[in-house]
Structure 1
């Protein structure tokens, strides 16, 4: 399927204005149409529970079909959910269908069947790095097989990280400290935000690929970012980066 450029542009527009949102309700209202245009029907943003602890109190945003969260929590489905368990094992975004089944399939199969009946057949999950580790996740879902392009999935990834960052601030956590990037670091990060590889950026700026990689490493370190996409989000939120 060809990338939906309009929905991708909406994500970047949201990144630029998200700091004006003042409540969880405003965030929910703002991202619903963007999520739909990216090709998903529902989503959830939640912390990850400790063993045998409930998930429901950790949920920040929830547009799951009615009744599913109650069912999921009452049956402690997180313990047998391949998607939930894979979030604990990886820091990389993944399609639900790519999550390995780490438990007995006889335990997860009924849960997956019920999820499909609720309209949660397939999806895309973004593990999110918090202050104490990979402790949250933003999961997008649909009632059919996901047919999203890599660019649309990258946009969903960026949206998830941006929303989480804003909600963390609204949840009375400290915003990121302002850390000045050098002009070259800001330039390299701007090209990364535009989708350029390190090699492409090196050609555009007339520097070596190794130098570009070093600048990106320094940027992630200064911004305390888990990856380059996260660094872009943090830089936008702190005013270090402006996308035009």
Structure 2
């Protein structure tokens, strides 16, 4: 467990690091210190988009057969969706039912704990640290320290240009604005007036956003935009 002085030192080293490898090494080492045997550090793609280019570290051996290889990672894996459930570090105990829908959870086995640490400093980009192990140390201090270190690491990665500023499939700034106003209950007519565009253009932005978010209606589009960090209300 890191003490307060050690955490301060780690944060300073991260803030002064100039390579992505060193930043990720520090983050990975601290995950190992709390008992992580499986580690995934990644950005999260938009719906129906590949994840490969967003993955920074992926060490996820399949404990069921003793393999050191990581299973093929798919953006649709239900374990990744756990990261959308909270903006704070969350601990999940893997059940047999979870394993039926996730290669990641199946690889760590029933009864293992998975820790999800969301990155909160990259809006509208999204990134997460996932780690798992049979004996993770997940006390309040460990979780708070990892939240600070994870945010610092990704902020520094962004500062040194190691993160892409583009998220494939992300909403445009105008699409986000239209959805934000929709979330506040504005009608198409009111949005058109506020943004000095036509109602037809408002509907076009809503339709484009719906397609990008794989949403079935306007309400669903707003909900998915919130889940995927594209808008804030």
Contact 1:35–1:42, Cα closer than 8 Å, also in 2: no
Name the SS of the counterpart of 2:50 in structure 1.
coil
Displacement after TM superposition at 1:133 (Å): 3.0
Does 2:126 align with 1:135?
A: yes
Displacement after TM superposition at 1:138 (Å): 1.4
**1:23 matched residue in structure 2:** 19
1:89 pairs with one of 70, 73, 85: 85
**Structure 1's 150 and 113: CA in aligned 2 closer, same or farther, altered over 3 A?**
same
Distance 2:15 2:137 in 1: 31
**2:49 matched residue in structure 1:** 53
Distance 1:111 1:42 in 2: 9
What whole-Å deviation, never above 9, does each CA across 1:27-82 have from its counterpart, x for those lacking one?
233334332223323422211122232222111233434532xx232xx3x4242x
Displacement after TM superposition at 1:167 (Å): 0.9
Does 2:153 align with 1:163?
A: yes
Name the SS of the counterpart of 2:120 in structure 1.
strand
Kindly report which structure 2 residues correspond to 1:124-203, keeping only aligned pairs within 5 A, or say none.
124-133=115-124, 135-142=126-133, 144-171=134-161
**Structure 1's 92 and 113: CA in aligned 2 closer, same or farther, altered over 3 A?**
same
- With normalisation by structure 1, the TM-score equals 0.53
Contact 2:114–2:132, Cα closer than 8 Å, also in 1: yes
Contact 2:91–2:138, Cα closer than 8 Å, also in 1: no
**1:112 matched residue in structure 2:** 105
Regions of 4+ moved over 6 Å:
none
**1:72 matched residue in structure 2:** 72
- The count of corresponding residues between Structure 1 and Structure 2 is 158
Contact 1:130–1:136, Cα closer than 8 Å, also in 2: no
Distance 2:119 2:88 in 1: 9
Distance 2:81 2:43 in 1: 13
What whole-Å deviation, never above 9, does each CA across 1:148-176 have from its counterpart, x for those lacking one?
321111111111111111111122679xx
Distance 1:5 1:29 in 2: 16
**Structure 1's 98 and 158: CA in aligned 2 closer, same or farther, altered over 3 A?**
farther
- With normalisation by structure 2, the TM-score equals 0.55
Displacement after TM superposition at 1:5 (Å): 4.7
Contact 1:46–1:137, Cα closer than 8 Å, also in 2: yes
- Give 5+ residue unaligned stretches, structure 1: 175-244
Contact 1:47–1:135, Cα closer than 8 Å, also in 2: yes
Distance 1:172 1:109 in 2: 29
